[in-house]
Amino acid sequence: MMELRSEQMKRGVARAPHRSLLKADGLTDEEISRPLIAVVNSVNDVIPGHLMLDKISDAVKTGIRMAGGTPLEFATIGVCDGIAMNHAGMRYSLASREVIADSVELVIEAHAFDAMVMIPNCDKIIPGMLMAAARLDIPTIVVSGGPMMAGRFRDKDVDLDTVFKAVGEVSAGTMDEAELLELENAACPTCGSCAGLFTANSMNCLTEAIGMGLPGNGTIPAVYSERIRLAKYAGMKIMDLLERGVTARDIMTPDAIHNAMTLDMAFGGSSNTVLHLTAIAHEAEADITLDDWAAVSDKTPNLVKVSPSSDFHMQDLYAAGGIPAIMHELDAAGLIIRDVPTVDGRTMGELADAARNSDPQMVRSVAEAYGPIGGLAVLRGNLAPDGAVVKRSAVSAEMLQHSGPARVFDSEEEAVTVILGREISQGDVIVIRYEGPKGGPGMREMLTPTAAVKGIGLDRSVALITDGRFSGATSGASIGHVSPEAANGGAIGLVVDGDRIAIDITAGTIQLDVPESELAVRREAWTAPEPRITKGYLVRYARFVSSADKGAVVS
């Protein structure tokens, strides 16, 4: 076993006061003498994906004790993006990722834990914990709370995205409020992270591909007892990692990050994964850029489509064999790096060999792929010289190339009012700016405007562009992460109503059709807007946060 970090705070005569305090926790001498394992839990009563994390934690602690360790639990914060959506609260969501990473670092280092098991389940909590794992570099394993089951509404599977879209349908007159209430009551039937391949489930699945979660971490439904057993195995497995001296950075290597990027492109996850995995790679000192993402996308076929890209949900991917089934198909085409280690103890290649694809319609082979390139695309052009990101797999064929007049809004709220007021025309390009990491501040995730456009029936004729983020539940030509952002003087801040914007997702371009001489005049006249937030955490966040193309990290 590697030398125990906890010995520095519990061994010897001088540490009698420390042991006394541990005994005040109810620990015996025998428990104190064992490795001290942190159980980092984001359980709370607010986020549906976190309601049951107390049961996951109990199972993890059982596994740790079975394998000879002493578990000690502490909490982190969490924000529910769905509840925070479309109001000022969303400014705090992405910013919470840094607080989570920092808070884990503070508690682990202050108490000299030997290893940790992390229990997240939703959008910013998962990457925040993985960032902390890479930063701390002690033996670590992640076990999530698992996905929600899809709801059932009028003989069709539904999820949270269905409700957001229905708001637009009510505005369009194609659904009444009584129907909306019926859907509202049916769409989220269980605890767990929302049932589609949105940001939370995308990140839980990438945790497997990067090697930090056991097989099943991303897809076993939250309400299945199998997840309790997985948590017990995670508790036992952390003791094995500690015994062998395997730390987080031994797992989160550049090759492992490459595998995670490849999986991301194969299943067309949330565009927010680009932001988060870039930040995780930065903490692991294995930096990646949008050019790296584009390169992986160009050679990775799209094998899977889950809501919002199709009517499949996470329970269907689980039944097909989960993430190992996708890795099996990718490995058959030589697209993954086989010899990278995982917390399971087997290499990624060995996990792929052991997997079985039980539903070739759900998880397609490379020969039967939806398309030859990845589910996410990086766009560049004079409107986004440092890049922008779109969920290509969720864009209809007729919107892969689009050119239209700009409709410019300086906030999400302004855009939503106009969309729901049905003042958007076919062919328009909706530009929502000053919503980036610095300008928002906090780079708000915006599902309401994209779902509203879909709900009023314009998703096949209208594009959206922002320096903020679009939800993992978003479909259509919704292009986010435009960099540089408007608040940093990016070209998106120079667009005026009526300017023509040309988008070619297939070619990877996004172009503002305005002469450079005119843009130079506008740039000279441009001034930064007054900050929306003038006190508290977000003021500090805006001062230090990087641009979206660099992962919106704070340093």
Q: What residues are labeled active site?
A: 471
Residue 26: CB atoms within 10 A of its CB come to: 7
389 near 272, Cβ under 8 Å?
no
| Alpha-carbon dihedral sign for residues 396, 398, 403, 405 | negative
Q: Where does residue 422 fall: left (phi above 0), alpha (psi -120 to 50 degrees), or beta otherwise?
A: left
- Which amino acid type is present at position 53? L
401-409 and 500-504: which strand pairing?
antiparallel
**Cα atoms in the Cβ-side hemisphere of radius 13 Å centred on 225:** 0
Q: Which two tokens stand for residue 486?
A: 């408007």
The DSSP call for residue 531 is P
Residues 543, 520: Cα–Cα separation, whole Å: 26
348 near 342, Cβ under 8 Å?
yes
277 near 550, Cβ under 8 Å?
no
555 near 541, Cβ under 8 Å?
no
Contacts of 496 (CB under 8 A, 6+ apart): 406, 408, 522
Count of residues making up the chain: 555
The percent helix, strand, coil of the chain (3-state, each to 5) is: 45, 15, 40
Residue 541: its H or E element = helix 537-544
Query: Which residue, 143, 139, 347, 348, is CA-closest to 246?
Result: 139
Q: Which two tokens stand for residue 116?
A: 């940790």
User: What are the Cα distances from residue 333, in Å, to 24, 269, 363?
Assistant: 57, 20, 14
510: β partners: 503
State whether residue 83 is helix, strand or coil.
helix
Torsion of the alpha carbons at 269, 275, 280 and 281, rounded to the nearest 10:
100
Phi, psi of 330 (to 5 degrees): -65, -40
Q: Which two tokens stand for residue 222?
A: 């939250």
35 near 114, Cβ under 8 Å?
yes
Q: Which two tokens stand for residue 470?
A: 């679009």
User: What are the Cα distances from residue 229, in Å, to 53, 60, 216, 416?
Assistant: 13, 9, 11, 44
Q: Which two tokens stand for residue 361?
A: 């319609």
Residues 144, 206: Cα–Cα separation, whole Å: 12
